[in-house]
Structure 1
C-alpha cells in the first residue's frame, strides 16, 4: 500500500478518536428523578418556569392577597420560597381574587401575568376580573406591577392569562378567558335544560386571543374568539364539555385555562371545560396553523379527566400547562383533587406525547412513580 495512503488513514483515525473524546467530554450528564403524583404542593392553576439558572419554579393560585412560589432542582423535592407578589394595597389597581399566575423569563427579567379583581368597579359588578403584569429581577420576587393598571380593558371580566412569544413572526400573543358572569348563551343544551325545568339559562366562558404590545402595555387590534362550548348536541365535544350542566352541578359551561404552544408547524391550544371546583373538570385541545386560529378541536378530547370511574383516586383535573424538559420530553402540569380530600387542589405532572399524525395524548392522571430526566 502506498505510504501516503497509510499516513492518511492513520490521520483520519486520530481525528475520529479526538472528535469522539471531545464529544464525550462536552456531553451533559443526564439526571433522572422519580416523581409521584400528587406533588407535595397544594395550589390551583400551576405553572412551572424552567429558569436560566437550571431550577424549576412553580407558581399558582393559593393566597388571598397575591402569589407564592416553590423551587426545585429535580421536580420531585420542592422548597417553599414564600410570597413573591403581594397585591390588594390601597394604592394598587387590584383588590382580591388573585388567580392563575404565569411567569416568563425575558431579557434578564421575570414577568408575571395574572388575574385579579379590579379596584375600578363603578357599576359594582360581582365579578370584575382583569389581567395584570408584574416584573422582578428574580424568579422568587419580589414582583411589582409593571403598570398600576390592567393590561387592557373590555366590558366583561377576564381571567387566566397565557402568553406566547412567536419566534416565527416576532410577535407576542395574549390568551385569556371571558368569564361566564352575565353571559347567557343560546344553545341546544340550554334549551334542553330549560325544557326539563333544571336551569332557565346557561352561562358560558370563552377563550380569546390577541396580539400584545412588546412592552406588555396593551393589546394590538381586537381580541379574536378562539374557543367556545358547542351549540349543538350532535357536536362530538358537547357531551364532555357540558358535564357540569348535565349532572346538575351548575348552570355554567366553561372554556378556560388556555395554554398555547407550537409543535412542528402546528399551534396547539389546550383548555379546560366544566366547573373547576367539581369532579368533571377536564382538559381538551385544538390545533391551528395560525396563532389566532381558526382552531379545530381534537376528536380524541378530553385528553385528561378524572380516573375515579376507572377505580382511580383523582378527580377534577384541569388548568394545565406544558413543560418541555432538556431532553425535549413534554409533560402536562395541572391541578386535580384526590378522592380522599376533594376540597383541596393538588399539583400533578404526567407525560404528554404527540404522535406522527399530530395527535396529542396525556398518560394520566397517574399516582405511581415515574422517572423524569431533568
Structure 2
C-alpha cells in the first residue's frame, strides 16, 4: 500500500506524529534524518507496523506521498540559536523528489521567518516548483509532551500557518484527520511565533520559581508550601515548580541578533536556569559540611538522571552537569534510574546502584534529581543518611528540599 504521509525525522517530534497518524488510519512512511533518540517499545512498534507504518527504504519514497512533515531536530547551535543543518538536509532530500500538489509542513521549533526565508528557497530550488502555486507549504508548532497521557494528539489543538490561504487549508485538512481542533494562524510567521511563545513561557516561569527557590531558602521560607497555597488561586496563576535545571528538546529562543533585539526576559531566564545545577551542588556541599563531611571523597548517589519523570529521555538533563560538578569537587558519584541501565559522564561510566535502599544507606548524600513514580520516597528518606530533594516530592520534614 502506498504511503499517504511521510514523516521526515523520527525523533521526539516525528515519532509521536507518526504514531498518531497510524492510529488515525493514515498509511505512513518514516524517514530518518540521522541518529535520533526517539524510541518505541516492541508492543508500540508492532501496533504501528500492523497499522500501516513502515520505514522508508530510500528517499525515493518521499516523492510518493500527499503530505510530508519535516520534524528534523534543530539543537542549539554555537550562536545559541537553532542549528538547522538537519532541517536543511531533510529539505534538500525532499525537494529532489517533490511532486506537484504535495503539502509540505515544518514542525521543527525554529525562529519566525524560517519557513519562508530558509525552507521555501531550498524546496523551490531543488524541485523547480513554486510554493503556494505548485505545492502547499505551512508551519505547525509541535505540541508534544512526552509521557503525558492526559493530552493525546487527538485532544491537543493544532495551530496551522500556511504560505497562502490554500496552503493553510490543505495543512488543516491533514491535521483535521488527527485532532479534534485545528486553529488557523494568519501565516507561517505567526505559527512559528506561537512555538516561540509557548517554549519561552515554560522557561521563563520555571526560571521564576527557581529564583524563588533560592530566595526562600535564604529566608527560611518553605517554597513548596508557598506554591501549594498559591495554586489555589482560581485565576491569574499557573503553578510551576523548581528543579535542578531545565531539560528537554525545546530550547528557549531569545532571537538575539535576528530581530534587531533579543527577548531580555528569555535571556535572563536562561541565565537563572543554567545556574541551577551549580546551585544544587553548592547546597549538596553545604549539607555535607554541616554534617561534618567534605565533598571531597564523599559518596553521592544521584537518583533519576533523565530530564523528565518516568521516561528514558536524557536530552539536556541537568543531571549531567550536577554529576560533573560533583566530580570536580572530588566526590565519588553513583546513580540509580529505573529507565537508564548505563550512564557515562565525560566518557567515564558511572557506577549504577543495583540495590537502591542499600546504596542510599551507604551514601553520604543522596540527591533526588528526578522523581520517577517507582521511587518510595518515604522509605528512601528513612534509609538515606542525607537526602536532598530537588523536586519537592518527599513528605514534609523527610528530606532537605531545594
Q: Same fold (TM over 0.5)?
A: no
Structure having the larger proportion of residues in strand: 1
Give the TM-score taking structure 1 as reference length. 0.26
Give the TM-score taking structure 2 as reference length. 0.25
